[in-house]
Amino acid sequence: MYGWRGKIGLILPSLNNTMEPEFNKMAPRGIAIYATRMLLAKGVPEDMEKLATDTEKASHLLKTADVTGILYGCTSGSLIKGVGWDKEIIRRIEDTTGIPSTTTSTAVIDAFKELGVRSVVVATPYIDPVNQIEKKFFEDHGVKVIAIQGLGYTTGEELHRESPETAYLFAKRVFRKEADCLFISCTDFACIEVLNLLEQDLGKPAMSSNTASLWGILKKIGIKERIDGFGEILRHL
């Protein structure tokens, strides 16, 4: 009997290689992960905007799987049109299914509040136009972005050959100690294994899109089990 404690439905960009394995690694006992994909061919603003087109259809597919909660699992895709875009997506999913839902960018903002974060350094795999949109989204929510830096990738091929070890190095290089928090953006950027080490070495919470997303959706469906090993936010359940 899979997912007897909770079934998480994932709506994710089609090229994503990371969210399903990382959610399966981190999910507590009794939580199962069910995924469906929407087309995203490249990590560029125009594709990210189109991503939401099929939201209703994807939501409906997951509803037939009788999921407990639905996560729209894309950071930039859920903030690409600025403040309010994430809430709009949530509304569309919940209108379609009646199932409690959230998006990655909603979860990230909620997690910043949970941890009392007022300033952040952001490490991303994105190109600069995407970074600037994300920066504005965070600052419009009252979180100062002290620095944001991207690897400049737009294809899965570039991103998927990176390992968590390179994420560690990149994030450490980008970080500035006056920030309250390190945030590694993108649900397709593999890094959960190094978040605890980054927290030790930097002395500040280190959060990724996937740890924030998992925390957000578990909280939404009423699961409260502290998860160790992947940074501060998942110890807050």
Q: Which residues bind a second copy (CB under 8 A)?
A: 1-5, 7, 14-18, 20-22, 24, 29-30, 32-41, 58, 60-62, 64-66, 156-157, 160-163, 165-166, 168-169, 172, 190, 197, 200-201, 203, 222-225
Q: Which is nearer to a second copy, 83 or 151 (CB)?
A: 151
Q: How far is it, in rounded angstroms, from Cα 204 to Cα 84?
A: 29
CB of 161 vs a second copy, minimal distance in Å? 7
Q: Would you give the distance in Å from CA 20 to the centre of its chain?
A: 12
Identify the burial level of 193 via C-beta atoms within 10 angstroms of its C-beta, where 0-12 means exposed, 13-18 middle and 19 or more buried. middle
The number of angstroms, rounded, from the C-alpha of 106 to the middle of its chain's C-alpha atoms is: 9
Q: Length of the chain in residues, anyone?
A: 237
Rounded CA gap, 235 and 179, in Å? 20
Give the pairing of strands 101-103 and 69-72: parallel
Q: Which is nearer to a second copy, 83 or 237 (CB)?
A: 237
Choose between 97 and 137: whose C-beta lies nearer to a second copy: 97
CA distances for 91 relative to 32, 88, 124, 130, 217, angstroms: 24, 5, 27, 24, 15
Name the CA radius of gyration of the chain, rounded.
16
Quote the least distance from Cβ 57 to a second copy, whole Å: 9
Work out how close the CB of 148 gets to a second copy at its nearest, in angstroms, rounded to a whole number. Answer: 21
Nearer to a second copy, 121 or 143 (CB): 121
Beta carbon nearer to a second copy, 5 or 141? 5
Shortest Å, Cβ 169 to a second copy: 6
Minimum CB distance to a second copy, residue 124 (Å): 18
